[in-house]
Amino acid sequence: DVVLTQTPSILSATIGQSVSISCRSSQSLLDSDGNTYLYWFLQRPGQSPQRLIYLVSNLGSGVPNRFSGSGSGTDFTLKISGVEAEDLGVYYCMQATHAPLTFGSGTKLEIK
Amino acid sequence: QVQLKESGPGLVQPSQTLSLTCTVSGLSLTSNSVSWIRQPPGKGLEWMGVIWSNGGTDYNSAIKSRLSISRDTSKSQVFLKMNSLQTEDTAMYFCAKLGVVFDYWGQGVMVTVSS
């Protein structure tokens, strides 16, 4: 199974600060169809996960443009340009290139 | 408006079988896949398996021997059955439509395995 390693596991930020989360895969996530099926989710406390980014860098519907995704192959990054209070929660990367679908272990964003 | 809603018992005894239902609205099961994902308390997300639009299934190899996913398209329902439950199966169980561009999640149902 593909292992997704997220760092850091905990991130403490002030309002307005820009932060990045890394997701490294044990295998390339580039599919034979040319797509890279790497996604980012935010799970706010007590809620279901909400998708932020699809196919590495595409912003989900209704997701603020302070969120951005980048990367290729095995290394991916989620950036939040100007953290807001509503961004607190746990961020997960997920890959769907290789079966079974797997999630990263999560990065908890705390607001200072 | 797409909605998924999980239902099932909140408490299951060890060694028993868990049966959960995901009721889907706003999506056709013959055109869309539905996955089951679980999350133990305070821990991360684990994909359990999927039923594809053609009715085929794929499962996480770690639990494949205990898991079965099926559906009733006439009722827009997807079912999860997992046998030989242990305390480590205590988790929030979600059903979700994980499309390439769009995804939809249920609110989840908490299942506790305890005698």
| Chunked mean pLDDT (size 10), chain A, 112 residues | 96 97 98 97 96 97 96 98 97 95 96 90
In the structure encoding, which two tokens stand for residue A83, read together?
A: 């953290």
Predicted confidence (pLDDT) at residue B39 exceeds the cutoff of 90: yes
pLDDT for B101 equals 85
CB contact under 8 A, A105 and B60: no
Cβ atoms of A20 and A75 within 8 Å: the answer is no
Q: Is A1 on the interface with B (CB under 8 A)?
A: yes
A101 reaches B (C-beta below 8 A): yes
How distant is the Cα of A59 from the closest Cα of chain B, in angstroms? 9
Q: What is the DSSP letter of A34?
A: S
Interface contact B60-A51, CB threshold 8 A: no
Number of Cβ atoms within 10 Å of the Cβ of A83: 20
Query: Which of A6, A29, A31, A23 lies closest to A77, judged by CA?
Result: A23
Shortest CA distance from A90: residue in chain B: B44
Indicate yes or no: CB of A49 within 8 angstroms of CB of B105: yes
Question: Which member of B50, B101, B105 has the closest CB to residue A48?
Answer: B105
Residue length of chain A: 112
Mutate to test the interface with A, among B46, B48, B97, B103 (most CBs of A within 10 A): B103
Q: How many helices (H) and strands (E) does chain B have?
A: 0, 11
User: Per-residue pLDDT for B102 more than 90?
Assistant: no
Q: What is the mean pLDDT of residues B24-52?
A: 96
Residues from chain B that touch A103, judged by Cβ atoms under 8 A, are 44-47
Q: What is the pLDDT of residue B65?
A: 96
Residues A3, A53: Cα–Cα separation, whole Å = 19
- How big is the CA angle at A42 (ends A108 and A4), to the nearest 5 degrees? 70
* Mean pLDDT of all residues in B30-55: 96
Which residue of B47, B94, B108 is in closest CB contact with A101?
A: B47
